[in-house]
Amino acid sequence: MVNRGSERYFDILIYCFLILIAVVAVFPLLYVFSVSLTPYSEVLRNGGFVVIPHKITFEAYRLLFGMESIPRAFGVTAFVTVVGTAVNLILSVLLAFPLSRKKLKGRGLFIFLIVFSMMFSGGLIPTYLVVKGTGILNTIWAMIIPGAVSTFNVLVAKTFFEGLPEELYESAHIDGAGEFTILTRIALPLSIPVLLTVGLFYMVGNWNVFFPAVFYVTDTDLNPLQVIVRGLLMSAESAESNVDATLPTNTLRMASVVVACLPVIAIYPFVQKHLTKGMLIGALKG
C-alpha cells in the first residue's frame, strides 16, 4: 500500500525543484531585459544590478536601431533564416524519406555514411577550401549551404517516416502513385509535427548563425545580427574601460542581446506543443 504522506512530500520536493530550475532559467532573461529598459544613470547607481526597473526608458533601443548596421543585419539574418530553413527542410525531407523506405538498395550503406559524418568531420580548413572552391565564399550562401543538412534532424525525420503505416504506401502504389507523389500527397501531410520540430531546430540555428559568417564572409554588409551584436558587446566593454558615463554601454549591450533573442523566444511558445510531440514520435516510432 502506498504511503500517501510520503507521496505528498515527494510531490512537494519535485515541485520545489522545478520551481528552482524555472527561477534559474528565467532570472538571467529578466535581468537582461530589465537592464535594457533602465536609465543608464540608475544602472550605474545600482552597480549594474537591476532586476525590476523603477524607471523605464527606450534610449538604448533608440540608439541601437539608429545604427545603420542593425537594420541591414536584421535583413541578412531574416533572409538566412527564411531561405535557409526552407532549403534545410527540403533537403532533409528528400534525404530522410528515401532512407525510411526499406526497399531502397544500399540503404544500410547510406545510413552508415550519414551517421559516420555525424561523428567525424573534415575540419575547418578542408571545409573552408570546399566553400572557396564552390564559389560561394564571401556571399550570403556561405551561411546557408555548408550547413544545409543536419544529420540529427535527418535521422529524426527518417524515424518518423518509418513509423507511418506501410499500408498507406501500398494503397497508393496500387492506385498508380509514384514515390514523389506518395511523399507529397501522403507522407508530408501526416508529418506536420516532425516538420515543425525539425524546422524549429533549423530556424534557431539559422537565426543564430555566427561562425560561418566569421569564417566565410568578409564583406561587412553581409554580417548577420549575431556578428553585429558581438561587435557591440566588445565595443561596450571598451567604452566601459574608458569610464565614459555618457554612453549607455551596459544598457546598450543588454538591448542588443534582447533584440537578438526576442524573435526566437516569441515564436517558441506557438510551436512548443508540436515540438514535444514531434520529438517523441520521431524518436520512438520505427
What CATH number is attached to the domain comprising 160? 1.10.3720.10
Same domain assignment for residues 29 and 71? no
pTM exceeding the 0.85 threshold for the entire prediction = no
Neighbour tally for 112: CB within 10 Å: 11
The whole-number pLDDT of residue 97 equals 92
Same domain assignment for residues 40 and 81? no
The whole-number pLDDT of residue 269 equals 76
AA identity, residue 156: V
Domain membership of residue 220 as a residue range: 58-284
Handedness of CA 112, 118, 124, 127 (dihedral sign): positive
Q: Which of 57, 72, 100 is the last residue of a domain?
A: 57
Same domain assignment for residues 17 and 89? no
532549403: which residue's cell?
87
Q: Which of 28, 57, 86 is the last residue of a domain?
A: 57
AA identity, residue 188: L
C-alpha pair distances (Å), 93 with each of 132, 146, 159, 268: 27, 17, 12, 22
540555428: which residue's cell?
205
Domains in the chain, number: 2
The whole-number pLDDT of residue 244 equals 45
Q: Which residue, among 216, 225, 208, 232, has the nearest Cα to 73 in the 3D structure?
A: 225
The whole-number pLDDT of residue 245 equals 44
The whole-number pLDDT of residue 242 equals 47
Contacts for 134 with CB less than 8 Å, ≥ 6 apart: 145
Same domain assignment for residues 1 and 110? no
What cell numbers appear for 69 in the block?
Answer: 548596421
Same domain assignment for residues 279 and 174? yes
Q: Which of 57, 85, 104 is the last residue of a domain?
A: 57
C-alpha pair distances (Å), 205 with each of 9, 50, 80, 168, 244: 41, 30, 10, 34, 36
The whole-number pLDDT of residue 1 equals 45
Same domain assignment for residues 47 and 65? no
Same domain assignment for residues 21 and 163? no
- Collapsed DSSP state (helix, strand, coil) of residue 194: helix
Same domain assignment for residues 124 and 225? yes
The whole-number pLDDT of residue 236 equals 60
Q: Which residue, among 124, 93, 99, has the nearest Cα to 113 in the 3D structure?
A: 99
Same domain assignment for residues 205 and 97? yes
Same domain assignment for residues 3 and 62? no
Same domain assignment for residues 87 and 45? no
Same domain assignment for residues 200 and 279? yes
Q: Over the chain (286 residues), what is each successive 10-residue block's mean pLDDT?
A: 68 90 85 81 69 79 83 92 95 92 88 86 86 92 92 89 84 83 87 87 91 90 89 66 53 83 80 63 48
Contact in structure between 206 and 81 (CB atoms under 8 Å): yes
